[in-house]
Chains A and B, each alone.
Chain A
């Protein structure tokens, strides 16, 4: 993960004279102690709660583990089997489509709405709450039921289409050709979380920048491009990285909408859903662990790429 090295752009390079270097070093050592003190709760959590299970899962990925019986060492069997598992390959394809379509779409919608809701206007706090509602309901069973009703063959969507004169008989959720798109829509629709983060980010942009710009007579668009986007870029970056990581692990929505099957015919079989079905449904936790580590490699690589590219567009004040 050297890609995150941009984080460690130390200001050391700026120190030129020996005195400066010495001062810098002294400060660095002070930072060292303080850094670890501030990090202490997280480090304890890592050691006690996080790392052990992670290492355990890595070990389990090299075993045959049913959860009920003790794991049996099986070498790289699980990883070899993954190469020949058509359903796994299909789930990767489904997940990639989902990530690359729904993440950008959701972020654009969230940013647009956040911009709209950021301006002084009556009733804004009410709108904000309304727009966040779907995210509160998010992966609940009730939403899954509703979604199945809306997009059913006789659902509201088809009824509206029929009113518009379209002979709509498609089962949006039932047809393997469309089911994934209803889940993508569901994901985009729950744009509340990135929206809130954008809103908070927008609020952090000092208003003096805008005041200066409006004195200069800059247009709305150029203010957006020249001020909002660069100053919001760390937050956009955060949303992008976390949404990608999150979307690859997307589970709940597909699980509840397809009733845990990933159907129809695996068309909404997300990677993590398949992993879960293997691990808990078929008692192949070793295989599930191997799948999880493949996911870490994939998501890790994409995150690294994200961090590498961030050098070119993310603007930090520090």
Chain B
């Protein structure tokens, strides 16, 4: 039987909630939450995902290996790693990639958004709203919804597989462009599936719109890319709803990564901590930030679908991120169709690349938010230093802040219900722990 929303049983004045082995997130982590006298005194997102030291193992490797090596940070969003890596290297070498090659990069990124978002919306997040432990059990009562979700995911995978060679860790992305580019005729068959996917995404937006959402509007500082005329994928300036507008090269002047004892993942903050209401310097990246800062850049179809789903142009309720992700799937299908329709095969699969000594930065919109890479390379293009800041590290402070506030305002819930809602609060962010560890477990402990 599906579990329904909020039933009040025994209120929790004192105690500790621990979730060990958080499910339906990518990677290993948990939650520790301590309540004393009806007040939340400690919230920790614990990340035991073993560290893999990518920034260290990149040293001494060739610039050309960066897209293939960094893809291995995450099996769910390898394209994002490849994109940030190639843009950072191209920044270091003074290379511009335009025309159809730029369009193909945008197209493969559309594929990753569709694939990653569809998995999260239907298989990982929706079960929380409807009270199922997973998408498989949900499929027994909602077979059409789950099948449509998996087919949508497949549509995204098809784009990645065609342009990248395979869905996970694609092999065709290189600094300067691609190893091989498709002909117009090779690309065309994607359109049929994508037209179906666009309709399916529209239905998904309508389906998510009526899920039960708790009232939980938060005053976030959203950070995302903003481009003069496009919804952001690969390029743009970093902007926020509180006046930030910087070049991606200035990322490290504005933000800092800090280590905390309970986690193998870094926490990112504004260097100037006073910016945030709680004075901690946390900020939010990802679909809600992108959407709220770039609503005017969505296609008319996506804007209309968002409005019909009851979303205003700014979304501050993280539980509604499930609707925002669905709107982004719709946009990505629409955009992919536009790109395919206008595609002309470039003369060469890549622009010439001549390494030179220097430092380059790249920041692109991974499905979960901005992903920053910086490399210092020598005159032969050998990596001397690498810095990678994944979206989930940047969102950790906000996840902990959401948890603290959510628990504080729902302290009357039973232990079990509170634990489940905490997990959902975390899954609002589609956290990718594998990425952030360079990330989560909920334990429940009574005093």
Chains A and B belong together in one complex: no
Q: B residues engaging A (CB < 8 A)? A: none
